[in-house]
């Protein structure tokens, strides 16, 4: 009950935080801070009431230089989860996500006196959060690389930090973001296939302030367990499956598919499929099949969940 009480206070506070910290300087520089918190309930045959609740939240910091036709964006976010996308059941975990993204555009950057009504974010972190700066280019493409550190894991900083790469495209009001740690250019990734292994997001954002629904999002995240050197050894031996030293790690080979809408207030509503049996259509399994990589065991049952969240905008 204490946890629900604390979350209620946080949600009530964010409910009135209708504007993130954001500044555009001379249509050339941006910086911002954004935050969000989400609570959800899982439903399924094997889901106990005590284990059905989960939550996640984040605070993101970002800055960019955005002259005409090209720019660069840097973002870093601190995230926390309870009973979700972590390596321990029913406990808290925390992570730091970061990304730096050079961006190219065939267009000049938007020039505005007031960016408050320009609701086109710059996606760069796959931490289920809302970006802290905006994409000022009508059309753009960006490659990025960054690091994710699992703060709550009992390992050295080097061992619990992974490098991931990203591709981000924007066409008008449509955004497509993809992150992976194994199939992009080698300088962008560490190739160890662990934890936040792959994510994709497709989003639409409206610039109209008075519409009830101002964004719609489809997102997919894949989180895998990890034991040191297990994936590398399985690949060297040509094993079909990765074998984990810690059996609990198999519980977090998690597929998270999200369908969400954002309302004109700063509220978000999501419907999710957890560990849905995609079989050959599941992205990671398909890539591993085509490239003859070992699979991660998938012993979790399928669940559905609903979420409600508050975000700055």
Per-residue pLDDT tens for 269-308?
999 988 776 655 566 666 666 656 666 666 667 788 899 9
Residue with tokens 């978000």: 268
CA–CA separation, 190 vs 165, rounded Å? 9
CA–CA separation, 61 vs 75, rounded Å? 6
Instruction: Show the tokens assigned to 263.
Output: 């309302």
Tally of domains in the chain: 1
The answer to whether the CB of 285 falls within 8 A of the CB of 238 is: no
Contacts of 221 (CB under 8 A, 6+ apart): 85, 126, 128, 196, 198, 199, 254, 255, 256, 258
Q: What is the pLDDT of residue 18?
A: 44
Instruction: Show the tokens assigned to 64.
Output: 């960019």
Q: What is the pLDDT of residue 223?
A: 82
Q: Structural domain of residue 148, as residue ranges?
A: 2-311
Low-confidence stretches of the chain (pLDDT < 70) are 1-20, 47, 50, 85-90, 116-117, 227-252, 277-300, 313
CA–CA separation, 304 vs 275, rounded Å? 9
Pairing state of beta strands 195-205 and 29-43?
A: unpaired
Give the residues across from 166 on adjacent strands: 144, 179
Encode burial over 5-30: b for 16+ CB neighbours within 10 A, e otherwise: eebeeebeebeeeeebebebeebeeb
């Amino acid at each position: 009950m204490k946890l629900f009480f604390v979350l209620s206070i946080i949600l009530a506070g964010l409910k009135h935080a209708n504007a993130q910290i954001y500044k555009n300087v001379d249509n050339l520089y941006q910086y911002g801070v954004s935050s969000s918190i989400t609570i959800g309930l899982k439903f399924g045959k094997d889901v106990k009431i005590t284990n059905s609740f989960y939550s996640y939240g984040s605070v993101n910091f970002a800055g960019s230089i955005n002259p005409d036709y090209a720019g660069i964006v840097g973002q870093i976010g601190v995230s926390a989860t309870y009973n979700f996308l972590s390596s321990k059941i029913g406990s808290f975990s925390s992570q730091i996500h970061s990304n730096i993204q050079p961006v190219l555009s065939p267009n000049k950057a938007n020039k505005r006196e007031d960016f408050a009504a320009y609701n086109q974010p710059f996606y760069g972190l796959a931490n289920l959060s809302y970006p802290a700066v905006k994409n000022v280019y009508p059309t753009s493409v960006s490659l990025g690389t960054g690091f994710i550190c699992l703060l709550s894991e009992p390992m050295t900083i080097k061992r619990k930090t992974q490098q991931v790469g990203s591709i981000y495209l924007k066409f008008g009001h449509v955004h497509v973001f993809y992150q992976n740690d194994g199939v992009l250019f080698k300088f962008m990734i560490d190739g160890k296939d662990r934890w936040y292994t792959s994510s994709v997001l497709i989003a639409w954002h409206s610039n109209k302030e008075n519409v009830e629904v101002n964004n719609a999002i489809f997102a997919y995240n894949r989180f895998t367990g990890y034991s040191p050197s297990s994936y590398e050894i399985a690949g060297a031996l040509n094993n079909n499956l990765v074998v984990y030293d810690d059996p609990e790690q198999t519980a977090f080979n998690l597929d998270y598919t999200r369908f969400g809408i954002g309302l004109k207030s700063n509220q978000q509503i999501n419907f999710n499929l957890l560990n849905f049996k995609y079989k050959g259509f599941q992205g990671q399994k398909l890539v591993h099949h085509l490239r003859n990589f070992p699979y991660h065991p998938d012993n979790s049952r399928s669940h559905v969940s609903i979420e409600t969240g508050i975000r700055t905008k």
